[in-house]
Amino acid sequence: MSRGELDRRVFVKLAAAAASLSACTPTPGAKQKHVAVVGGGIIGASIAYHLARDGARVTLLERGSLASRASFGTFAWINATWAKQPRTYHAFNQAGLSGWKRLQSDLDIPIRWGGSLEWFPSAERQAKLVDQIAEQVVWGEPARMISQDETAALEPNLIPGTPEEIAYSPNDGAVDPVLATQRLAAAAQQSDATVLENCDVQNITASDEGATRLETTCGSFEIDDIVLATGADPNAPELLGGLPIPQRSTPGVIVITTPQPRLINRIIVAPGVHIHQRDDGRIVLGEQDGAPDTQAHSMRLRDRPTRFPDPLIAEQHAMRILEIAERFVPGIGSAEIEDVVIGWRPLPIDGHPVIGRSPNRSSVYFAIMHSGVTLAPIVGELVAKEILTGITAKNLDAYRPDRDFQTTRRY
Ligand SMILES: Cc1cc2nc3c(=O)[nH]c(=O)nc-3n(C[C@H](O)[C@H](O)[C@H](O)COP(=O)(O)OP(=O)(O)OC[C@H]3O[C@@H](n4cnc5c(N)ncnc54)[C@H](O)[C@@H]3O)c2cc1C
């Protein structure tokens, strides 16, 4: 299929999706709520799409370009696996997965489903994994432990090493996060949203008449509601929302290769490295361990760079990660590297999302979270509903910004 045909097909689908939702638009004459969504990552784009689809007047404002921070430097594994604890949060992630099935079809977003394969090198950790998979089954996941033979049948190019069994979670998938963000923003525009890139939101003020104004580098806007989908930005929550959100944003290196002949079909969660291969053949690798906790590293990472200081260092890191991957997928080590990125996780200290109105500024609504790729569809849907109807969603109760944050090491 040619690029032109693909674009036409996507346009027709987006137009159909927008048209099919006209039932949600407000009655003629009713004042349309003007909602500003600050942050053009996957969360902001999903919220903007769902708001615009459901009848709001939306302005999406992004300081850089769409999907240029965490939603670029992410592994983008869509999952509700054992790490998603407790059960309510697990269910929330399952809703994220279902949401991707809806968006995949409504907006023509390519997603590679097929599940994940995971194991650990130590017998002790493997035994724990068996228990965790048993819990997954009780929680409604079709996960199971499979033999090396069954693993080889699923992934002939994978050599897991010594474990007798591998955890197989068939529901998981992976998405191209940049493409998905762009499609969501384009679909929002189809429903008349305005998308402004290179637009830094700097302040919120009140006009003499009491209206809320957003002060930005691309103008000043009168708005009804503001959603802060500002990811790991350490200042935006307090500056714009009047409430600091305690975060410990951690870095992770993501390596992307040039398109390769198909080597793997599923998400491989191997000791030390995560691997998947997109539909377009690009292999995405993420390292499991973060940066060493040394003073030299903290100095270098102080300003949260998304790139290494020079291409040679980037290449060294990529080679290191490819070498780990080569132990499990022979042949992968010779793949040509296309990009090496340092991603910064938006990570509230208890590991859970922060979603809801600021207790200190009623026009401001927070949407800051890790696992945002998995959660983007359900978060977009529920946030749009809460903002447009004023009815609170019960399954967001655990994630409100005024909770007592306790440090929990989840990621
Ligand atoms: C290494 C790594 C691996 C990950 N792996 C996974 C995974 O496998 N599965 C998964 O589900 N999740 C994963 N995550 C988490 C996931 O990527 C994030 O939760 C998600 O991308 C967050 O999206 P976001 O839109 O909230 O943030 P971002 O993509 O960071 O977007 C926030 C945007 O807000 C903009 N912004 C901030 N302040 C302002 C302002 N004042 N004015 C205008 N714009 C502003 C920023 O420029 C930025 O573009 C991973 C993250 C990392 C870093």
Instruction: Identify the pLDDT of residue 8.
Output: 46
Task: Pick the closest to residue 314 from 341, 282, 274 (CA basis).
Answer: 341
Residues 6+ apart with CB under 8 A from 46: 184, 376, 377, 379, 380
Cis amide bond preceding 86, omega within 30: yes
CA distance 175 to 194: 25
Instruction: Identify the pLDDT of residue 33.
Output: 93
Q: State which ligand 1 atom lies nearest to the alpha carbon of 96.
A: 11
Q: State which ligand 1 atom lies nearest to the alpha carbon of 240.
A: 41
User: In a mutational test of the pocket of ligand 1, which residue from 116, 184, 233, 321 has the highest number of ligand atoms less than 8 Å from its CB?
Assistant: 233
Low-confidence ranges of the chain (pLDDT < 70): 1-31, 290-293, 296, 410-411
Question: What pLDDT, in 10s, does the model give residues 4-59?
Answer: 444 444 444 444 444 433 334 444 445 689 999 999 999 999 999 999 999 999 99
Instruction: Identify the pLDDT of residue 300.
Output: 76
Residues in contact with ligand 1 by the CB-under-6-Å rule are 38-44, 61-64, 68-71, 73-77, 200-201, 229-233, 236, 252, 254, 286, 343-346, 369-374
Instruction: Identify the pLDDT of residue 348.
Output: 96
Domains, the chain, in order of start with CATH, read: 3-73+177-246+349-399 (3.50.50.60), 113-172+248-344 (3.30.9.10)
CA distance 328 to 157: 8
Record the tokens describing residue 198, joined without a space.
Answer: 């290179």
Instruction: Identify the pLDDT of residue 20.
Output: 39
Question: What pLDDT, in 10s, does the model give residues 339-368?
Answer: 999 999 999 999 999 999 999 999 999 999
Question: What pLDDT, in 10s, does the model give residues 65-93?
Answer: 999 999 999 999 999 999 999 999 999 99
Distance of CA 47 to the CA centre of its chain: 12
Record the tokens describing residue 139, joined without a space.
Answer: 């929680």
Phi/psi for 344 (5° steps) reads -115, 120
